Chains A and B, each alone.
Chain A
Amino acid sequence: MRARLCAEGRLLMFLTAALLVAGAMAVYSASGFASMRYFGNSHHYFAGHLLRTLVGILLGVCAWKIGPGFWKAVALPLYLLSLALVLVTIIPSCPIAPSINGSSRWIVAGPVKIMPSELVRFSFVILVATLVTRGSVSPRTLRGVAIISFLGSVPAAMYLLQPDYAGAAFLVGTVLVMLYISEARFSHLLLLVAAAAVLLGVFVVSTPYRADRVRGWLNQGQEVNGDNFQPEQSCIALGSGGILGRGLGRGRQQRGFLPEAFTDFIFAVIGEETGFAGSIAVLLAFFALFSCAWRISAKADDAFGSLVAGGLTASIMGAFLIHVGVCLRLLPATGMTLPLVSWGGTSMMTTLVSLGVIARVATGVRR
């Protein structure tokens, strides 16, 4: 491993580290109240977060050291494994896939809690990159597009059974981005986008709670009630932070007003405590991170590296945009972690492994 990281790669690593530190601080502040409430100490969630971050960094370093050959070799098994995990979650009343908040998105085995959907996006990107670069599938033909769409549709369909519509939409989005960077024709993409939009629209309208959330999102600025409680609380957190924020550890919304303060609404907590200055700083850090990742993808020596880097970047960025969009009430309420920042092991580890893979791509780029 004599090849050196390019400038983008180094910046990527630095930004990752910075966001991990900021995230750890945010998790500690955001989870302290809930931790105290349920465990009698302020660091229960924080300690778990640190442990998972550490494991994630180790996995990420491994991913960085492992060559593309390994990923090409395990692409299909990994994809099938993640499909199997999703399958477990939709088995009715499966003991290791309990229903949490009316949806069984997690696999719980003792202290380990896995969110298979995070794994699916990763394995899907690897698989498509492998198939496309091996020449098995040609994205520029309708047949190729159909195959890639099918590979994404299988888990997406399973998500609908969990049910996790946002996860399904996110995966469909990942499929579209993957097709886009593997140079699928725009006519095909347009067809897919239309089909996906119609399908999602039907699902939204057909389920009352989903429709309520969308309505809550549309009725902004109204009194806080059941439909828009969480998004409004998020806006109150961000808005009350002002320009410079209330100060680290002095946020008030995490005291039960933001129900998932240290996972799905951690950006709101950061905004309340550090204000516009802090949230813009986090925003810029992510923007720089994604810019580096895109550039690495663009400068990649081989198509596989480029596709993998681009796909994984899109996957992380999608999570970021959904999280921030929900916190800012630009999107309807849904549960999505903020990559590198939120409490949540699967997301943390998948993100760090993804960044490890991107870093690997960055070691081989043209100078």
Chain B
Amino acid sequence: MSQPSPELSPSRRDARIRLAMVLTAALFLVVAARLFKLQVLQHDEYARRADAQHTHTVILDPARGSIFDRNGYLLAGNSPVVTLEVYWPSVPAGSESAIDSLLARIRGAGAEVPVPDRTGVNQIIASDMPWEEALPIISGPVPIGVNWRVGARRTYPLGDDAAQIIGRSTRDCNEGLEREFNSLLTGEPGVCLVERSAYPGMSITSPEASGTPPVDGDDIRLTIDARFQNIVQEELERAAVMSGAEWAAAVLVDPATGDILALGGFPVRAPDGSLLANPCISSIHEPGSTFKIVTLAACLEEGLLTSSDSFDCSAGRIPVADRMISDCHSFGVLSVEQIIAQSSNVGTIQMAGCLADSTLYEYSSRFGFGARTGIELPGEEEGLLHRVSEWSRLSRACLAIGQEVAVTPLQLAMAFCVVANGGNLVRPRLVAASRGTDGWRDWSGIRPRRVISEETAAEIRRILTEAVETGTGASAAVRGVSVAGKTGTAERLGFGAGAYLSAFVGMLPAERPRIVCAVVFDRPDYAYRFVSSLAAPVFSSIMTRLLASDPSIALGVPEEAGGVAVLR
């Protein structure tokens, strides 16, 4: 033990060190208290602030659902597109030439390029470049400061041929299935939580981050047959242009199920390029003679007449209230069957004379007129069917021959489906199935509603076959298959003299129809006012081409074993 310095006292030193220890303990208590405050009491507040500066949320876009036709052909899909942009502050000085050559390459690929604005911050230099064109540019070295991202662009392989059914996914388009099923097709966007560092460009996607993946939109399979839709569009356009019609519409429907096979319209676009509503569901008109099947059905179903009962139509005209309604020429005495086949107004009005007002109204209503069909398209018109209480003394006669009633081409087609399928009103449908995360799911149809008996329907089909074979609808005949159908020529009131509507609604094969087709042309040139020169031949050519592409419609499914075609 060394000698302690005389002035130093170990006991004093000891006391001082003990005091130092007490002081140490006090300081540690202060620190511990502060830690408790920060880490326990203020944890929520600081955790929030930490999240705010660390976590960066990236929205993940879901893929929009595709739309397919009944055979699985794509009608609306997505294709990848690339958007390139320059973040000018990141472009190193002296490397502007690299940007210029990139712009030249983009221009070479056929895209428009803006004038470089070097004083700006972020500049898009190519937006929505097709993937194939952008690939050679982005697969090579991209100049520093240039970023690119992949997006999706909606594509419609059929072009405008199905545009009035599908619509467009752009925000300003209110037509079609893209709009009707927008939420189904859109899906749910996901979020990705990215952990950010304090330095730009050094972020990580945290594996434990609670992001949610996007849920892609559902795919939709339609009842539309792309081949038929093409044929219908082409034939409509050709005939409408030739005849100078204001608009034309054609509905192709499977009468048994209500499956819409094609929904053709003309014109597709307004002069300004915007998509027009489909005339099949939006163009209402007085149907004229095609409506006579309702009168016929009412008389037969109620048992008031048989097809062999006859009426005297030799006057060629008939007084109704204070008006005269006439035929195009006088027919003489006609049976019920002949009245329909020859489309005699005088005869039909006499037939309607057997009916009570309410009966005629009720049948009109039960055939689906005056109410929306419920097809899955926005903007469907319900037409016009006056209640009996609103009728004048003229109304029964007018309604019997398809006046004072306004219908859409689709309503007309669905009414003929009642005749075609043995007496049931079916609801038209466009969507057959949709595919979500759990695979394809069929959309069930609505239960059909019986309107007339099978026998009445068969009898009307027989009469309508007669109308095509011997009557007004002769030019609607299709080689190799029996057609039943009804013509309709209606004066278009309010559009001046010589304004007519030319319509034909037919079905084939007449014995057991597989397809119903309504063709309507509005206000063609005067030379084309007769159905025999416009709607009926267009029906014929549409059906001829349809049967060529799918003979089973007329011939049934070929039997494998014997090679003998039988009707199903």
Q: Which A residues form the contact surface with B (CB < 8 A)?
A: 33, 37, 132-135, 138-140, 177, 180-183, 235-243, 252-253, 255-257, 271, 275-276, 279-280, 283, 286-287, 290-291, 294-295, 297-298, 301-304, 306, 310, 314, 317, 321, 324-325, 328, 330
Contacts and interface: CB of A to CB of B under 8 A. Distances in A.
A68 to B, nearest CB: 9
A240 B35 CA distance: 12
B254 to A, nearest CB: 62
Nearest to B47: A240
A79 to B, nearest CB: 20
Contact of B31 (A181, A290, A330): A330
A330 B12 contact: no
A134 B6 CA distance: 10
Given A239-B49, A240-B51, 7 more contacts: A133-B5, A138-B5, A139-B7, A239-B38, A255-B197, A287-B28, A302-B4
Nearest to B31: A324
B21 interface: yes
Most chain B beta-carbon contacts within 10 A, residue among A257, A283, A298, A306: A298
B36 A276 contact: yes
B49 A306 contact: no
A241 B39 contact: yes
Interface of B: 1-2, 4-10, 12-14, 16-18, 20-21, 24-25, 27-28, 30-32, 34-36, 38-40, 42-43, 45-47, 49-51, 53-54, 195-199, 202
Contacts of A134: 5
Contact of B198 (A235, A240, A257): A257
Contacts of B32: 280, 283
Nearest to A244: B39
Contact of A239 (B12, B27, B45, B202): B45
| A-B pairs, 5 with minimum CB distance | A239-B46, A256-B198, A240-B50, A255-B197, A276-B39
Contact of A140 (B7, B17, B196): B7
A303 B10 contact: yes
Nearest to B4: A303
A243 B41 CA distance: 10
B90 to A, nearest CB: 18
B48 to A, nearest CB: 9
10 contacts: A37-B199, A181-B17, A239-B43, A239-B50, A240-B46, A242-B39, A243-B39, A255-B196, A301-B1, A321-B31
B203 to A, nearest CB: 9
Contact of B38 (A182, A255, A328): A328
A88 B197 CA distance: 38
Given A276-B39, A291-B21, A328 B50 contact: no
A139 B16 CA distance: 14
**Taking chain A's interface residues, is the majority helix, strand, or loop, or is none over half, making it mixed?**
helix
B457 to A, nearest CB: 75
A34 B36 CA distance: 29
A235 B35 contact: no
Given A183-B16, A236-B50, A239-B45, A255 B24 contact: no
Contacts of B28: 283, 286-287
A321 B27 contact: yes
Nearest to B9: A183
A303 B2 contact: yes
Given A133-B5, A242-B40, A276-B36, A298 B46 contact: no
A321 B1 CA distance: 34
A134 B53 CA distance: 59
Nearest to A136: B5
Contacts of B2: 133, 302-304
Given A236-B49, A298-B17, A252 B40 contact: no
A138 B9 CA distance: 12
Contact of A138 (B4, B7, B35): B7
A240 B20 CA distance: 34
Given A240-B50, A283-B28, A290-B24, A306 B42 contact: no
A244 B9 CA distance: 48
Contacts of B7: 138-140, 183
Contact of B35 (A276, A286, A304, A314): A276
A242 B20 contact: no
A206 B304 CA distance: 116
A171 B202 CA distance: 40
Contacts of B39: 238-239, 241-243, 271, 275-276, 279
A236 B53 contact: yes
A252 B195 contact: yes
Given A180-B20, A182-B8, A304-B2, A257 B53 contact: yes
Contacts of A304: 2
Max chain A Cβ within 10 angstroms of own Cβ: one of B21, B30, B199: B21
Contacts of A298: 13-14, 17-18, 21
Contacts of B50: 236-237, 239-240, 252-253
A303 B31 CA distance: 31
A98 B251 CA distance: 87
Given A238-B39, A252-B50, A276-B35, A291 B24 contact: yes
B6 A283 contact: no
B1 to A, nearest CB: 6
B43 to A, nearest CB: 4
